[in-house]
Amino acid sequence: MQDQLKIVLIQSNLVWENAVQNRINFRTKIEAISQQVDIIVLPEMFTSGFNMNAKAIAETKEGETVAWMQDLAKQKQASIVGSIAVIEKSKYYNRLLFVKPNGEIIQYNKRHGFSLAGEDKIFTAGKEKVIIEYKGWKICPQICYDLRFPVWSRNVEEYDVLLYVANWPKARIAAWDALLKARAIENMSYCVGVNRVGLDGNNYEYPGHSAVYNVLGEKLTLENSNKETTEMVILHKMHIEKNRRHLGFLNDKDTFNLTV
């Protein structure tokens, strides 16, 4: 177990439906990280932009992006995290991949399809909440629209970090800011959110606002709206343990089971 976890948030523009160019762009950003870190987080659908053209953008588990992530994770000795469109057994998934330096892959399929864009009709919803154990830390990965549903992220596993990758548009960015902070406070965990910037192929604008909040809802990241940034934040296990022990809010949570 290590007391500190160094996380890098890469907030970037995305090239519409161009996995090759997006991988080139992200490789440049990742290779430019000069210090040793533990986790590097990319946005949702980082090879294509948030896109319902699943047939054109989806890859297999053995596709080029997965191999690319494994290569970079090994090279940087850090886990690489982001979501891509995946096809498996004739079904499409918006799938988050947590790729460890040793090549191990842990996956999470987005639970809540964004019905306003028809995602729920094209991509199959995930059924399983995932908790990743990494370097003595417990991490709960989720994707974009999942942020609006607090029951799904409810901290019954005593996880340490709640992690969201997103393509969250400018029109509703106030909700992104408020809900990231709320999820940190109510779950007494760090909450990490990585969003994109720029315009997508449908002319929707994305303003960034990637952020990290601690268990008290205090923002740890710099103001980085509307521009590409690479920022490292150090998380401290003692901060979680001290505040959970002193305040004990999670001990008073309601007891119920979620049916999926």
* Catalytic residue check, 140: no
Q: Single out the catalytic residue among 100, 110, 129, 181.
A: 110
Strand partners, 229: 11
Q: Single out the catalytic residue among 144, 181, 186, 191.
A: 144
**Residue of 35, 42, 169 whose CA lies nearest to 114:** 169
Q: How far is CA 100 from the centre of its chain?
A: 15
CA distances from 227 to 12, 30, 139, 183, 209 (A): 7, 17, 27, 25, 9
CA distances from 42 to 35, 188, 206, 209, 243 (A): 17, 24, 15, 14, 29
Looking up tokens 């999942």 gives 146
Residues 6+ apart with CB under 8 A from 75: 31
Residues 6+ apart with CB under 8 A from 153: 140, 142, 146, 147, 162, 183, 187
In angstroms, rounded to a whole number, what is the distance separating the alpha carbons of residues 202 and 9?
A: 25
* Token output for 212: 């990290």
* Catalytic residue check, 144: yes
* Catalytic residue check, 191: no
Active site residues: 44, 110, 144
